[in-house]
Amino acid sequence: MPDNRIRLKQLEIKGFKSIASTGQSIDFGDITILLGANGSGKSNLVSCFKLLNFITSKGLQVFIGKQGGADALLYYGSKITDKLDFSVLLEQSEGTELRTTRYDARMVHGMPDRLFFASEKVTFHRHNENQPQEFFIEAGNGESGLPDDQRTTSRVLFFALTGIRAYQFHDTSDTARIKSNGYIDDSRYLRGDAGNLAAFLRAMMVDSANRKYYDRIIRHIQKAMPQFKDFELEPSSVNSKSVQLNWRDTLGDALFGPHQISDGSLRFMALSALLLQPPTMLPETIVIDEPELGLHPAAIAELAGMMRTASKNAQIIIATQSTLLVDEFSVPNIVVVERDKNTHSSVFKRLDEDSLKEWLTRYSPSELWEKNVLGGRP
C-alpha cells in the first residue's frame, strides 16, 4: 500500500446497537477479519460503516428510517441510551512525517424518534509539531455539517470518509436489484448491494484502459464456475439505456439471465468485480459482511486470494464466521467479536500472536476458535 495513502487506523463507538455506552475501540490494518458467531455484533459494526456512508451523503435521517427509527440504533433503546458517539482516526505518512486526522461526533435522541448532531469535532495533528489543530463544526441539525464545511482539513476528511464503503451481497432473491435491468450509465462505482453490477462490468469491458481488469474478473469467475464463459452485456433491445447481467456458458451458444445463476455464483461474481476492479477505482476501505455466504470451499480460497490482491491498494475489513476463510489469514489479521456475559454488549478483541504461539504449533486459528481458546463462540 502506498506510504502516502490515508488509512483507517481506528474506530471507536459508544451506544450503537449492541455496543454499550462504555464503548469499543477497534484498530484496523491492511486486512482485518472480524470473527464471531451469529448475534455477536459483527454486522452491527458493518452497519456503523454504513452509517458513515449516509452521514457523508447527508442521508442520516434516511438511514434512521431504514433501520426502524433511532430507538433501534441505540444500545437497548433510548430509555437506556440517549446518545451515540463515534470517533474515526485516519493516518497518513508523508516521508518521515506522520499525520493523523480525527473526527468525533455525538448524536442525541430527540422527537420524533430521530437523532440530531450535538457536536462534531475535527482534530488534525502533524506529529512533528507539538500542538494539534482542532475545531468544531456547527452542530444541532439532523444532518452532518461536515459535507458543507470548506476548511481544508474538513474537505480532506470528508473525501477520506466517503472512501469507506460497506457491501453486503446477501439479497439474491427474484426481486433483487442485481437480477433486474439497470441504467446502463450507473457505473461510476459498485453499489453496496451490487445492484448495478451489469453496468459496472460493462463499463470496464468497453474501456480499453480497463479491459484487462474485466478479463481478470472473468478468469477468476471461471475458476469458481467452470461452465461460465463470459458476460453478454449489450444494451436491451427494448431500451438502449438498460442492461442486464446476462451470460453464456462454455457448452453452447445459449444466452442465460441472472435468474439462471446459483445464489453463491452470483455473489462470487459481485465479489470478483468489487475486489478485482482497477486499482484507481477501488474504495480506500472495503467493508464486506459475510462474503462467504453460499460459496463452495474452493471459491472461498479464491476469495481470500482476491482479498489479498485488493489489499495492495485498499484496506479490507471482513465480517465472517467461516472457518475456511479465517484459516487463509494469519492471527494478527483477526479480531474476535463476542457478547459480554454480563452486559450482553459486543466486545472486539484483536488477537495477540505471541500469547498464542504454543497453541498455533498444533492448531489452526479456526480450530482454536472452535475450541473456544480465542473466544467468540456462542
Segment 236-263, tens digit of pLDDT: 989 999 999 999 999 877 899 999 999 9
Q: Report the pLDDT value the prediction gives residue 377, as an integer from 0 to 100.
A: 76
Residue found by looking up cell 469467475 in the block: 221
Q: Which residues contact 20 (CB under 8 A, 6 or more apart)?
A: 14, 75, 340, 343, 345, 346
| pLDDT reported for residue 3 | 61
In the numeric block, which cell numbers belong to residue 229? 464463459
Domains of the chain: 1-163+330-378 (3.40.50.300)
- Which pLDDT belongs to residue 62? 94
| The pLDDT value given to residue 2 | 47
Q: Which positions ≥6 away from 261 have C-beta within 8 Å?
A: 247, 269
Sequence-ordered list of residues with C-beta below 8 angstroms from that of 323, at least 6 positions apart, any chain: 366, 369, 370
Partners of 296 in the beta sheet? Answer: none
Scanning the structure block, which residue is given the C-alpha cell 458543507?
A: 148
**Mutual orientation of helices 297-310 and 263-275 as an angle, nearest 10°?**
20
Amino acid identity, residue 100? T
Cα–Cα distance, 43 to 34 (Å, whole number): 9
Over the chain (378 residues), what is each successive 10-residue block's mean pLDDT? Answer: 79 97 96 94 94 93 94 95 96 87 96 93 90 90 93 94 95 95 96 97 97 98 94 94 95 89 96 97 96 93 96 96 93 94 93 90 90 81
Query: pTM of the entire structure?
Result: 0.94
Are the CB atoms for 377 and 41 separated by under 8 Å?
no
